[in-house]
Amino acid sequence: MIALLSRDLALAVRAGGGFGLGLAFFLIVTVLVPFGVGPDTELLSRIAPGILWVGALLACLLSLDRIFALDWEDGSLDLLATAPLPLEALVSLKALAHWITTGLPLVLAAPVLGVLMSLPPEGYLWIVASLAVGTPALSVIGTFGAALTVGIKRGGLLLSLLVLPLYVPTLIFGAEVARRGAEGLATATPLALLGGVTCGTIALLPFASAAVLRINLR
Amino acid sequence: MEQRASASLWEWANPVKFLRLTEWLLPWVSWGAAICLAVGLVWGFFFTPDDFRQGSTVKIIYLHVPAALMAINIWIMMLAASLVWVIRRHHVSALAAKAAAPVGVVMTLIALVTGALWGQPMWGTWWAWDPRLTSFLILFLFYLGYVALWEAIENPDTAADLTAVLCLVGSVFALLSRYAVLFWNQGLHQGASLSLDAEENVHDVFYLPLLVCIAGFVLLFVALLLLRTRTEIRARRIKALMARERMG
């Protein structure tokens, strides 16, 4: 399992994988928004939590089709499926690798980009906390989407369409945590709900993803 | 073969029997839908008084409420059909889910568009990020994704399996989104116009034609569903025949 994880990580980092891409996209979104809406600090600090969350979500979306596509094309996915490792574990590992290469950098970069968005000082802790709790759910849901569309050529658009509505609860709760945190309000309720979404998806969705992958590999 | 009790619902999972039954059923349902819709809409549009405050715009209720109701119920029907396909592998069930989805798309779209048309004079806006409106937009996206996935996959059995799983997972997330959206914003949209346990629903003058319209929409959906499922079965058959021809 660890070998598989480190293989995925190595592939993502070395082979021009999605490692830098998601981060660069996140950076671009947050740098471009102030040009779009104007440099008004008050406005920027009000929309900062939402923009950071949407940027993180889109950056996540960008790298989803890489989760299975390369393994599918060169046939290693078939080998992995016949390996003694259950497919559910494989799917979870893939999601974990995706999170480490995409979600974790986003979490770490968010405070830096918060400066650009003139995020209020109270907000930094909460944007990091909400992204840290929420991005695993994005990776797990995205893995399900990637497993659904793995057999489809140029399935990128379809993947986004399928995953987009699935991302709504995570985005709502995550952005709500960040917004309330930035405004100095109590964050316990949305944070608990966000945690619930994340735990629920991590616990249940790998079974659906594995089932879907089995169908696709048939 | 004691399983041959002909009262079983699963009899109709046989495509031949399904075709025979629906051939007999279809005209009845279609005419029922046509009559109910004609009566309900004419009654609703021309023979009910204008609302005290809303004027004649209130009459869009006769399209909006049934369409919204059907948009949700069609998804539930697709969920049931997907479950039957996953559990019992009846092809007619998978095809019925496939056939229902575009109808659901249209119903959702009707609900959204009529809502916007009504909202413009009443709320002063075509669109508001109100929980109900937002939930419907999300439902619309779910429908689009479902239809797109069916279209994207060549092998019909793989497509049926994948869309069934998508429907199951999507249902959970649709429900989750519904409550997430409630948490996110309190709305403009009025409460439920109809519910079974309410003392009084909408005033009777509007209520009766509305019920007729709802019946009409249900029948319309059943008619379209039967028709489209028949088409799908025939299309599948043609494909099989053509494959056989190529082999021989």
Share of chain B above pLDDT 90, in %: 47
Nearest Cβ partner for B173 among A149, A152, A166:
A166
pLDDT of residue B132: 82
Q: What is the per-residue pLDDT for A165?
A: 92
Q: Give me the pLDDT at residue B125, please.
A: 82
Q: Is the pLDDT of residue B78 over 90?
A: yes
Residues of A in contact with B166 (CB under 8 A): 148, 162
Check residue B199 and give its pLDDT.
53
Whether the pLDDT of residue B33 is over 90: the answer is yes
Residue B188: pLDDT band with limits 50, 70, 90? low
Kindly determine whether residue B148 and residue A164, on different chains, have CB atoms separated by under 8 Å: no
For residue A161, the chain B residues in CB contact (below 8 A) are 141, 144-145, 148
Tell me: pLDDT of B7 over 70. no
- Whether the per-residue pLDDT at B47 is higher than 50: the answer is yes
A65: chain B residues, CB-CB within 8 Å: none
Q: H or E element: which one contains A130?
A: helix A123-148
| A166 with B149: Cβ contact below 8 A | no
**What pLDDT, on a 0 to 100 scale, did the predictor assign at position B1?**
38
Q: Are B122 and B84 in contact (CB under 8 A)?
A: no
pLDDT in tens, A167-183: 999 999 999 899 888 88
Closest CA to B171 of B218, B133, B138: B138
Looking at this predicted complex, what is its ipTM? 0.87
Range in B40-49, B102-111, B161-170 with the lowest mean pLDDT: B40-49
pLDDT-derived band at B187 (thresholds 50, 70, 90) equals low
Domain ranges of chain A: 2-217
Q: Is the pLDDT of residue A11 over 80?
A: no
Q: List the structure tokens of A16.
A: 């021009």
- Chain A residues whose beta carbon lies within 8 Å of the beta carbon of residue B174: 165
Q: What is the pLDDT of residue B83?
A: 93
Q: Which of B144, B158, B168 sits opposite A218 (nearest CB)?
A: B158
Contact B162 A218 (CB under 8 A): no
The per-residue pLDDT for range B231-240, each reduced to its tens digit, is: 999 999 998 8
pLDDT of res. A16: 57
- Rounded mean pLDDT of B52-57? 70
Q: Quick one: closest CA in B to A216, which residue?
A: B158
Percent of chain B clearing pLDDT 70 (strictly above): 87
Mean pLDDT of B55-70: 85
pLDDT at B111 > cutoff 90: yes
Within 10 angstroms of residue B197's Cβ, the number of other Cβ atoms is 4
In this predicted structure, the answer to whether residue A84 has a pLDDT above a threshold of 70 is yes
Per-residue pLDDT reduced to its tens digit, A31-61: 898 888 888 888 888 888 899 999 999 988 8
- Tokens representing residue A105 in the block: 């950098």
B173 to A144: CB separation less than 8 angstroms, yes or no? no
Task: Provide φ and ψ at A83, rounded to 5°.
Answer: -70, 160
Average per-residue pLDDT for chain B: 85
Q: How many residues does chain A have?
A: 218
Across the range B117-125, mean pLDDT stands at 83
Q: Are B58 and B50 in contact (CB under 8 A)?
A: yes
With a cut of 70, say whether residue A17 has pLDDT above it: no
Please report the pLDDT score of residue A38 as a whole number.
83
Percent residues over pLDDT 90 in chain A: 35
**pTM for this structure?**
0.88
Tell me, what's the pLDDT at B36?
93
Residue listed under structure tokens 């929309």: A47
Output the DSSP codes for A139-187. Answer: HHHHHHHHHHTTTSTT-HHHHHHHHHHHHHHHHHHHHHHHHHHHTT---
Contact criterion met (CB < 8 Å) for A166 and B183: no
**Residue B58 pLDDT greater than 60, yes or no:** yes
Integer angstrom CA distances of residue B96 from A53, B15, B22, B37, B223: 39, 11, 13, 23, 12
pLDDT at B5 over 60: no
Rounded Cα gap, residues A98 and A5, in angstroms = 10
**d(C-alpha A1, C-alpha B134), whole Å:** 41
| Amino acid of residue A216 | N
Query: Average pLDDT, stretch B120-142?
Result: 86
CA separation for the pair B178, B72 (Å, rounded): 12
pLDDT digits (tens, 9 = 90+) for A139-157: 999 999 999 998 887 778 8
Contact A211 B184 (CB under 8 A): no
Contact A162 B166 (CB under 8 A): yes
Contact A165 B138 (CB under 8 A): yes
Cα nearest neighbour of B139 on chain A: A165
Q: Do B230 and B92 touch, CB atoms closer than 8 A?
A: no
Average pLDDT, chain A: 87
Among the partner-chain residues B142, B158, B184, the one whose CB lies closest to the CB of A176 is B184
Best mutation site among A143, A162, A204 for testing chain B: the one with the most B CBs within 10 Å?
A162
pLDDT score, position B13: 78
State the pLDDT at residue B202: 64
Interface touch B158/A172, C-beta < 8 Å: no
Distance CA B182, CA B188 (A): 12
* B189/chain A closest Cα distance in angstroms: 20
A→B contacts (Cβ < 8 Å), by residue, are 144, 148-149, 151-152, 155, 158, 161-162, 164-166, 168-169, 172-173, 176, 190, 193, 197, 205, 208, 211-212, 215-216, 218
Per-domain residue ranges of chain B: 24-190+202-247
Contact A161 B148 (CB under 8 A): yes
